[in-house]
Structure 1
């Protein structure tokens, strides 16, 4: 596990401080496994026909580049057996399609054929409400000194709904995610919340609201929990791997990481006041 390797490196560093011998660390690397990034997003106001799926593999702890996967056959099928082919941009691991047809509540099946192995996943395209308003509070957070941005939307009252907010600020390279359901807010106004003490006037925050399935909600909740546990110190329990909905129908033991998700989304760009 990654955290276990970090512990090994820290311990080795402590011992080598007091000696001059060079220690070669031979960390065992597991065979590479397929990693699928397949988030099909239909942004409101667009056709949603242009989509991309990325294929990579797991790699060694010390590797600084992520290996991409070429030569796969990738396609999505809808309930009417219409096939949407995803063609690779040569030698990139990026497979694109410009003929995809998004339909709310439609079931889609992803198929990936690679090296004699077939991987499949099924997901339903979930709709989402529009972001109606955005508010800013310059005295938010526990300290009262953090800028707090709320993005509001109205939850429908006729079904159980699951949501994900993606926040990407201009001051951070990595976006943050928040997943939640309407168990206590069904039929009422709801909001996504972003707090950052380093935000200042003129910074830009991109906000994307996703309608997601219950299964994807549970997957992302586990994934964010695992990511959070990595900050528990060098002697924290190593987090478990999180498996998605992608199944290897040829060899179940040779599983893939990642998730096939299909969502309607709404997007707003906000400039901090």
Structure 2
């Protein structure tokens, strides 16, 4: 299985701790670029899981806070039938608290803003049971760290893609945890969620670890895979690039019809 664990964050952090160097701040004069719409859209198999966030790209030195865009018409359809017109509940956040998706069904997102139309299609995968999760301590360079591991049985002869989101004591950890079954189709597997524990307090005994396992379609997987490669300078390039998007209309972001399951464990 290919699994983007983001453990390079951990290794990099440990190397920094063992290296002393002089640093000089260099300000680079970057040209401003045309701003684009950013769409972060999710439909899940649970009520309350239909949320579309609209924002705009920012310049390099701008803060990374979310600034929503109002005034859009946002709809979800399936097979040409309108299912919902989402309501804007706060600036740039559009929701339908009752709409939920069905497994194996394709959904179409439409966003109309300032006379421009943006569309995307995503198919909700069938549910693969999230068997279990556990936490254990591992040693790196003589230091002990605790990480969670997820376990599931992958169905045979079916392409499956997954994404994990992890919280420690209610705070989300950084790291892009995506999995596919290209090399483990039909097998039972375990995957450890490595993350930089400098982002939050290291996991300690008694801490609550929550793991959301998301079943995602291939275009969504490709978005997050390219997101990880861009952030880490992977695939032989250190230059950042925009992730591969499934949205048509010259916008950035993604639309994912996904199923979701949750496990909560306590660190030993």
Give the TM-score normalised by the residue count of structure 2. Answer: 0.79
Name 1:247's counterpart in structure 2: 248
Q: CA 1:80/1:256 → structure 2, altered by over 3 Å: closer, same or farther?
A: closer
Number of equivalenced pairs: 238
Q: How far is the alpha carbon of 1:214 from its aligned partner?
A: 1.7
Q: CA 1:139/1:89 → structure 2, altered by over 3 Å: closer, same or farther?
A: closer
Q: How far apart are the structure 2 equivalents of 1:117 and 1:190?
A: 45
Q: CA 1:259/1:145 → structure 2, altered by over 3 Å: closer, same or farther?
A: same
Matches within 5 A, 1:74-223: 74-79=74-79, 81-90=81-90, 92-139=91-138, 145-170=144-169, 173-195=172-194, 198-223=202-227
Native 8 Å contact 2:74 2:112 kept in 1: yes
Name 2:26's counterpart in structure 1: 11
Q: CA 1:124/1:104 → structure 2, altered by over 3 Å: closer, same or farther?
A: same
Name 2:17's counterpart in structure 1: none
Q: How far apart are the structure 2 equivalents of 1:181 and 1:215?
A: 12
Q: Secondary structure at the match of 1:11?
A: coil
Q: How far is the alpha carbon of 1:82 from its aligned partner?
A: 3.2
List runs of 5+ in structure 2 lacking aligned partners: 1-23
Native 8 Å contact 2:149 2:191 kept in 1: yes
Q: Secondary structure at the match of 1:261?
A: strand
List runs of 5+ in structure 1 lacking aligned partners: 1-8, 13-24, 249-254
Q: How far apart are the structure 1 equivalents of 2:102 and 2:216?
A: 14
1:258 equivalent to 2:253? Answer: yes
Q: How far apart are the structure 1 equivalents of 2:67 and 2:138?
A: 44
Q: Secondary structure at the match of 1:201?
A: coil
Q: CA 1:83/1:173 → structure 2, altered by over 3 Å: closer, same or farther?
A: closer
1:41 equivalent to 2:56? Answer: no
Q: CA 1:141/1:102 → structure 2, altered by over 3 Å: closer, same or farther?
A: farther
Q: How far is the alpha carbon of 1:141 from its aligned partner?
A: 5.5
Q: How far apart are the structure 2 equivalents of 1:129 and 1:177?
A: 20
Q: How far apart are the structure 2 equivalents of 1:138 and 1:11?
A: 39
Q: How far apart are the structure 2 equivalents of 1:67 and 1:261?
A: 21
Q: How far is the alpha carbon of 1:192 from its aligned partner?
A: 2.9
Give the TM-score normalised by the residue count of structure 1. Answer: 0.77
Matches within 5 A, 1:14-25: none
Native 8 Å contact 2:224 2:243 kept in 1: no
Q: How far apart are the structure 2 equivalents of 1:240 and 1:118?
A: 24
Native 8 Å contact 2:210 2:264 kept in 1: yes
Q: How far apart are the structure 2 equivalents of 1:270 and 1:62?
A: 39
Native 8 Å contact 1:171 1:203 kept in 2: no
Q: CA 1:171/1:113 → structure 2, altered by over 3 Å: closer, same or farther?
A: closer
Q: Secondary structure at the match of 1:35?
A: strand
Greater Cα offset, 167-176 or 198-207: 167-176
Q: How far apart are the structure 2 equivalents of 1:215 and 1:167?
A: 22
* RMSD between superposed Cα atoms in Å: 2.6
Residue deviations 1:100-121 (CA, integer Å, cap 9, x gap): 1411110100000000000000
Native 8 Å contact 1:58 1:66 kept in 2: no
Name 1:252's counterpart in structure 2: none
